[in-house]
Chain A
Amino acid sequence: MLSRLIVLGLLCAPLLVVAEPDHITTLASSCAACHGTNGNSAGGTPVLAGLDASHFRKQMQDFKSGARPSTVMQRHAKGLTDAEIDGLALFFSQQPRRPASLPAHPR
Chain B
Amino acid sequence: MNLNRRDFMRFSASAAALTLLPLSGCARALRTQASPRVVVIGGGYAGATAAKYLRMWSAGAVEVIVIEPNPSFISCPLSNLVLGGSKTLADLTFGYDGLQQHGIQRVQDTVTAVDPLARKLQLTRGELRYDKLVIAPGVDFIYDSLPMLDSAEASQQVPHAWKAGPQTVLLQQQLAAMPDGGVFVMSVPKAPYRCPPGPYERVCQVASYFSQHKPKAKIIVLDANPEITSKKALFTKVWAEMYAGMIDYRPNSQLTEVDVAAREVKTEFETVSADVLNVIPPQRAGKVAQLVGAANVDKRWCEVDFLSYASKVVPDTYIVGDSVSAALPKSAHMATSQARVCASAILATLAGQQPDPQPVFANTCYSFVNARMAMHVAHVYRYDQHKKIMLPAEGGGVSAQPSEQEGQYAYSWAQNIWSDVLT
Which residues of A are in contact with B by a Cβ distance under 8 Å? Answer: 1, 4-5, 7-23, 25-27, 29-37, 41-45, 64, 71-72, 74-80, 84, 100-107
Contacts and interface: CB of A to CB of B under 8 A. Distances in A.
A22 B348 CA distance: 9
Contact of A23 (B36, B59, B359, B396): B359
The range of chain B's interface size is 35 or more
B140 interface: no
Interface of B: 1-3, 5, 8, 11, 33-37, 53, 56-59, 61-62, 71-73, 90-91, 93-95, 97-98, 129, 131, 332-333, 336-337, 340-341, 344, 347-348, 350-353, 355-356, 358-362, 364, 376, 378-382, 392-397, 399, 403, 405-406, 408-409, 411-413, 415-420, 422-423
B3 A9 contact: yes
Q: Is the interface of A mostly helix, strand, loop or mixed?
A: loop
22 contacts: A7-B34, A8-B33, A11-B131, A14-B131, A16-B61, A30-B360, A33-B337, A34-B412, A37-B423, A42-B416, A71-B399, A72-B364, A75-B364, A76-B380, A79-B360, A79-B380, A79-B393, A79-B395, A80-B360, A103-B95, A103-B419, A107-B95
B94 A104 contact: yes
- What 7 A-B pairs have minimum CB-CB distances, sorted nearest first? A78-B395, A79-B380, A44-B412, A14-B36, A79-B393, A103-B422, A42-B419
A72 B420 CA distance: 20
Contact of A15 (B351, B355, B378): B351
Contact of B361 (A30, A77, A103, A106): A30
A107 B97 CA distance: 11
B420 A37 contact: yes
Contact of A34 (B1, B341, B416): B416
Nearest to B90: A105
Contacts of B361: 26-27, 30
A19 B62 CA distance: 12
A19 B35 CA distance: 15
B418 A102 contact: yes
A70 to B, nearest CB: 10
A10 B411 CA distance: 46
A85 B43 CA distance: 32
A75 B412 contact: no
Given A14-B131, A16-B62, A17-B61, A8 B420 contact: no
Given A4-B8, A78-B395, A103-B418, A11 B97 contact: no
A106 B355 CA distance: 37
A14 B33 CA distance: 10
B72 A106 contact: yes
Given A14-B34, A26-B361, A45-B416, 6 more contacts: A15-B351, A32-B420, A33-B336, A37-B419, A71-B399, A78-B393
A36 B419 contact: yes
A5 to B, nearest CB: 6
Nearest to B421: A103
B356 A79 contact: no
A80 B378 CA distance: 13
Contacts of B417: 32-34
A30 B3 contact: no
Contact of A103 (B129, B332, B395, B423): B423
B225 to A, nearest CB: 24
Contacts of A25: 57, 344
Counting chain A CB atoms within 10 Å of each CB, the highest count among B59, B94, B360 belongs to B360
A79 B376 contact: no
A75 B397 contact: yes
Contact of A9 (B1, B396, B408, B420): B1
B359 to A, nearest CB: 6
Given A33-B364, A75-B395, A16 B419 contact: no
B351 A18 contact: yes
Nearest to B405: A71
Given A18-B347, A21-B347, A78-B394, A11 B33 contact: yes
B57 A21 contact: yes
Nearest to A31: B362
Counting chain B CB atoms within 10 Å of each CB, the highest count among A20, A22, A33, A74 belongs to A33
